[in-house]
Chain A
Amino acid sequence: MSVDTRHTAPTVSPAFRTRLATARRRKRWGNPLAGLGSLVWLVLVVVPLYTLISSSLMHQDEALNGDPLAFPTNPTLDNYKTVLDSGFSTMLGNTVIVAASTVAIVLVLAVPVAYVAVRTRSRLSSLAFRTFLLGVAIPAQAVIVPLYLLIGKMGLYDSLPAIILPTAAFAMPVAVLILSGTMRDVSEEMYEAMALDGATPLRMLWQLAVPMSKGGISTVAIYTALQAWNGFLFPLILTQSEENRVLTLGLFNFQTQFGVNIPAVLAAIVLSVVPIFAVYLVARKALINGLMGVGGK
């Protein structure tokens, strides 16, 4: 928990007041260099997004021959229909299942690990913690060949669990790090007070550690959900059939399937963003604060 120090301004002698006021006025505008930089970056973000939307509303020949920066002269939703008729809903459903299951598995497994890492002093728990710390650096590519073998042997090849299980495993290290970071901030005295009341470790976890680390838990949920939502390598290698296709892989297939029908490709991209965008509109604060939390303190 961060302590808000903004309002604890020290008492200042009047002589300093004017100097402070000048500094504050300057501060309102911030660093001009950064301000300019942010404007440039704004253009770089907005132009591709504008083209994405506007071209997805164009007829194919207009998109191919006209000025791609122009507003569509004769907007159409046909491209969206093309995409929706190409099995989009199955992919969306699969992706939602994958993301939700991954988050559930990660939370159920990582919360106890972090709790044990913070609350016990045994060598085993610190070894486990270190393993997870190192795990952050294991790239998914490094294990994709053995996973292909392992998932095949488990009889899971070309199924949704084939995507869910490795995705969850690879979200574990960051989850454990974030959760133990927040749980460490729960003060020892509170645990002692609960222990004096005769609380079991389970009750302490459920009534103290979990409620006190809500921020960390939502960070983990959001980070994991985005990882699962964006996952590409695991679905690419570990699934095959159309019924198990997730959005990212489906999009990739559209690129070949639609060929030069660029408006349809763009419409597919837009549709793939809509669900996340809806979540973003509803829970913007939670999403941003959650991701900010990945950086730790």
Chain B
Amino acid sequence: MRGGRKTAVGNVGRPPVSWALPGILFFAVFAIVPLAIAVYLSFCKWDGLNSPTSAGLDNWTRLFKDPEVRQAAWLSLLLTTISWAFQTPVALLLGVWAAGRQRSRAVLSAVFFVPLLLSTTAIAMLFHALLDPNFGVIKEIGPWFGIDPNVMGSSTGALLTVAFVGGWQFMPFHTLIYQGGTRQIPQVLYQAAEMDGAGMFRQFFHITLPQLRNTITTSSVLMIVGSLTYFDTVLIMTKGGPGTDTTVLPYLMYRTGFQTYDLGYAAAIATALVVVATALSLVLVRFSGFGNMRSTREGM
């Protein structure tokens, strides 16, 4: 649609590019420039009070040797993988199911939606209270399912809990995305498949899943970037513990920067984080061809 449509009025009434400048400048000042400063600070030593002084490659050589960074990177990756593997199938199934227009589904969807109304902080605090080994619901319910009430006390338990709480919070959002995506699939495809005698499962795997390709990419990118930058829940629920066993990269960065005031090193960790997050999303976007941002009307 943007490609050369050569009509008499093709170039009349186009807005000046300068209209975009305020928005671009604003974004540059508060996101792009800080990103550049972060890279700059990663080569500095800075305690937050005095001026930053050059430190050469110190932070970076330290970063690659630091066992804490290695552990945090591993935990971030682990948390991201668990979250993705847990949320994607469930959200996909729930979304496809909720896309039906029956009343019962509408009512259930309304309930599913409630966690979205709670802030991350509220959700983390709620589960912090529910999972309190002495006073929380977990002491009642946990044993029914063979879960130790002190689940937050074990390394694996704490990490899985953080992943679960994240899922609890974001599942409705991803379910909605899938629900929206499913409703955009032309019904004709299903009618054709039904006439060919394709069953429900074949319809799901041969129509629904391929048609949801872009939706899966969008949802996955949001999930991956979201879990790599998982911070609020960790701070509120585990403070990186037990020990350092849930200290993911963003939390390590926070601790380094704003508790020990080693802001140069924190900037290096942050830069590494953004490189990883961007690389991962670029791979996903390229891989699926989503970056074309095609309009549904294109070619009509």
Tell me the A residues contacting B by CB distance below 8 Å.
1-2, 5-6, 8-10, 12, 16, 19-20, 23, 26-28, 30-31, 33-35, 37-38, 41-42, 44-49, 51-52, 55, 63-64, 67-69, 105, 109-110, 112-113, 115-122, 124-125, 128, 131-150, 165-166, 168-170, 172-173, 176-177, 180-181, 184-185, 187-188, 191-192, 194-196, 199-202, 204-205, 226, 229-230, 232-233, 237, 247-249, 251-252, 254-255, 260, 262, 265-266, 269, 272-273, 276-277, 280, 284, 288, 291-297
For the complex, is B31 an interface residue (Cβ under 8 Å from A)?
A: yes
**With A142-B274, A145-B270, A232-B232 as contacts: A252 and B125 at CB distance below 8 Å:** yes
A249 to B236, CA, bound (A): 11
Interface 9-residue window, one of B63-71, B109-117, B154-162: B109-117
List 9 additional contacts besides A68-B139, A292-B179; criterion CB under 8 Å: A31-B93, A38-B97, A142-B35, A172-B23, A188-B5, A192-B10, A230-B120, A291-B173, A295-B218
Nearest chain A CB to B252 CB, angstrom units? 10
In contact, A288 and B130 (Cβ under 8 angstroms): no
Across-interface contacts of B17 in A (CB, < 8 A): 116, 120, 122, 124-125
Q: Is the interface of B mostly helix, strand, loop or mixed?
A: helix
Q: Which of B2, B14, B20 has the largest number of chain A CB atoms within 10 A?
A: B20
In contact, A233 and B231 (Cβ under 8 angstroms): yes
In contact, A34 and B94 (Cβ under 8 angstroms): yes
In contact, A295 and B31 (Cβ under 8 angstroms): no
In contact, A266 and B20 (Cβ under 8 angstroms): no
Which of A10, A112, A141 is within 8 Å of B22, CB to CB?
Answer: A112
In contact, A131 and B32 (Cβ under 8 angstroms): yes
Nearest chain B CB to A265 CB, angstrom units? 6
Closest 9 CB pairs of A and B: A295-B177, A169-B30, A292-B180, A146-B37, A34-B97, A143-B34, A146-B34, A109-B23, A113-B23
For the complex, is B296 an interface residue (Cβ under 8 Å from A)?
A: yes
A198 to B13, CA, bound (A): 8
What 0/1 readout, one digit per residue, does chain B (114-142) give for beta carbons within 8 Å of chain A? 11111111100111111010111101110
A132 to B20, CA, bound (A): 12
What 0/1 readout, one digit per residue, does chain B (66-104) give for beta carbons within 8 Å of chain A? 000000000000000000000000100110111010100
Which of A12, A143, A192, A277 is within 8 Å of B7, CB to CB?
Answer: A192
Across-interface contacts of A180 in B (CB, < 8 A): 293
Which of B118, B121, B277 is within 8 Å of A137, CB to CB?
Answer: B277
* Residue on B nearest A122 in the bound complex, by CB: B17
A68 to B34, CA, bound (A): 47
Across-interface contacts of B134 in A (CB, < 8 A): 64
Across-interface contacts of A295 in B (CB, < 8 A): 176-178, 180-181, 215, 218-219
Residues of B40-75 contacting chain A, CB below 8 A: 41, 48
A145 to B177, CA, bound (A): 33
In contact, B23 and A110 (Cβ under 8 angstroms): yes
What 0/1 readout, one digit per residue, does chain B (268-300) give for beta carbons within 8 Å of chain A? 001101100110011000000001010111000
In contact, B115 and A45 (Cβ under 8 angstroms): yes
In contact, B37 and A150 (Cβ under 8 angstroms): yes
Tell me the B residues contacting A by CB distance below 8 Å.
1-2, 5, 7, 9-10, 12-17, 19-20, 22-24, 26-27, 29-35, 37-38, 41, 48, 90, 93-94, 96-98, 100, 102, 105, 108-122, 125-130, 132, 134-137, 139-141, 168, 171, 173, 176-181, 183-184, 186-188, 191-192, 194-195, 197, 200, 204, 214-215, 218-219, 221, 225, 228-229, 231-232, 236, 250, 253-254, 257-258, 263, 266-267, 270-271, 273-274, 277-278, 281-282, 291, 293, 295-297
A-B contact pairs, 5 of them (CB 8 A): A5-B188, A20-B194, A138-B278, A146-B34, A196-B9
In contact, B180 and A293 (Cβ under 8 angstroms): yes
In contact, A113 and B37 (Cβ under 8 angstroms): no
In contact, A38 and B27 (Cβ under 8 angstroms): no
Which of A31, A116, A273 is within 8 Å of B204, CB to CB?
Answer: A31
In contact, A117 and B176 (Cβ under 8 angstroms): no
Across-interface contacts of B215 in A (CB, < 8 A): 295-296
Nearest chain A CB to B108 CB, angstrom units? 6
In contact, A9 and B191 (Cβ under 8 angstroms): yes
**With A41-B94, A68-B136 as contacts: A169 and B181 at CB distance below 8 Å:** no
Across-interface contacts of B9 in A (CB, < 8 A): 192, 195-196
